[in-house]
Structure 1
Amino acid sequence: MKIVMITGSNRKEATSTVLAKALEGQLRRLFVEVNLFNLYESPLPFYSPDEIFNRHEGVRELQRLLMEADGIILTTPEYHGGMSGVLKNALDHMGQMHFSGKPVLSVSSAGGAVGVSSLQQMQATIRNLHGINSPEWISIGGSQRAIYENESAEGTIVLDYRAKEALSIFMELVKKVSGKEEAFPS
């Protein structure tokens, strides 16, 4: 099973990226193949339908990874009630062929209590790309953000129970949709 994660922040130590790395670690412990595409480390050019950006190495790499993926995880900070501009820009470079029929888990980190608006925006975008939204999402905010920031500084990143449960539900959906019978331990 192959999972592609796109971290949608242009901040080096963004909490949403730390959360993505915790999810990546959990998946690797369960022997799932994970490719993390970090938009901070691999920025993409601004999308323009008049330009042919598929020649850009980063765009081509992300397109290739998504074509091979069985499932996709998107992470973003919440900015002004929406997903980050860099994540939206990356998604604009993609098409239905990259998402159609694939389960997608939406993950957000908000300055307030939770990032519901960004999650709803991501799910609307996924529907328009013909992806399958996971019935659960992951959102951290407030004091939860501090936990991830502290754990990142200490080098230990551990998911809380709710995040593990949402990830498990997502992976069961990936297994069902992909038809791959590889075991995914809970």
Structure 2
Amino acid sequence: MTKITIISGSNRAQATTTQLCSYLQQVLESKGCLVTLLDLYVMPLPLYSPDVVCEDANLAILRNSLNEADGIILATPEYHGAPSGVLKNALDFVGSAQFSGKVVLSVSSTGGPVGVSSLQQLQTIVRSVHGINCPEWISIGGENRTFTPEGEPVNEKLRERALHTLQYFVKMVEAFSPEL
């Protein structure tokens, strides 16, 4: 069974980033994947410092989930043309031990039309920790950040885009994971 870890890097209640992550989780689970969704709003991490050895319980959950994952989805709101500080802080606690050789899908939610800057920066981080960037990505913006009470995006084209991207992502994960 394909194991996917999704990290929602928003630090806000009812964040559209997390709503999108929940939708992606539903779709992946319907396709037979085992999905762990880590919401950094409800699972806060301490501030990273390379000078401090951190034994935080939430950090242990993050590392273990990433270690066990065959594929990873990183999701962020876009703040000032960059990923959230909350997600960057989480990524500072991990590295190539968790990402090396794993396919990573980058996802963003932004108040503007599309969050390209944050997605490009996430892909740079993924390369730096020896992950494999999925060439597809998902970015929602403006009025496309609306979800039904059941958790699906209201915009049909966004749903189609998400389904296409997730199908591509899972095929990549299966192709690159030696245990699948």
SS of the residue 2:75 aligns to: strand
Question: 8 Å contact 2:152–2:159 — kept in the other structure?
Answer: no
Which one-letter code corresponds to 2:129 in the other structure? L
Q: Distance in 2 between matches of 1:44 and 1:156?
A: 26
For residue 10 of structure 1, report the CA deviation from its aligned partner.
0.7
- Percent same amino acid among aligned pairs? 52
For residue 179 of structure 1, report the CA deviation from its aligned partner.
3.8
SS of the residue 1:160 aligns to: helix
Q: Distance in 1 between matches of 2:152 and 2:30?
A: 13
For residue 31 of structure 1, report the CA deviation from its aligned partner.
1.4
Q: Distance in 2 between matches of 1:168 and 1:178?
A: 15
Which one-letter code corresponds to 1:164 in the other structure? L
Aligned equivalent of 1:137: 137
For residue 11 of structure 1, report the CA deviation from its aligned partner.
0.5
Which one-letter code corresponds to 2:152 in the other structure? I
For residue 180 of structure 1, report the CA deviation from its aligned partner.
4.9
Q: Distance in 2 between matches of 1:179 and 1:49?
A: 32
Alignment of 1:92-107 (within 5 A): 92-107=92-107
Aligned equivalent of 1:24: 25
Runs of 4+ off more than 2 Å? none
Which one-letter code corresponds to 1:8 in the other structure? G
TM-score (norm 1): 0.91
Aligned equivalent of 1:155: 150
Q: Distance in 1 between matches of 2:56 and 2:113?
A: 37
For residue 38 of structure 1, report the CA deviation from its aligned partner.
0.7
Q: Distance in 1 between matches of 2:43 and 2:151?
A: 24
Aligned equivalent of 2:39: 38
Aligned equivalent of 1:173: 172
SS of the residue 2:13 aligns to: coil
Unaligned segments of structure 2, at least 5 residues: none
Question: 8 Å contact 2:48–2:89 — kept in the other structure?
Answer: yes
TM-score (norm 2): 0.94
Unaligned segments of structure 1, at least 5 residues: 182-186
Alignment of 1:39-54 (within 5 A): 39-53=40-54
Q: Distance in 2 between matches of 1:50 and 1:64?
A: 22
Which one-letter code corresponds to 2:87 in the other structure? L
How much is the aligned-residue C-alpha RMSD, in angstroms? 1.1
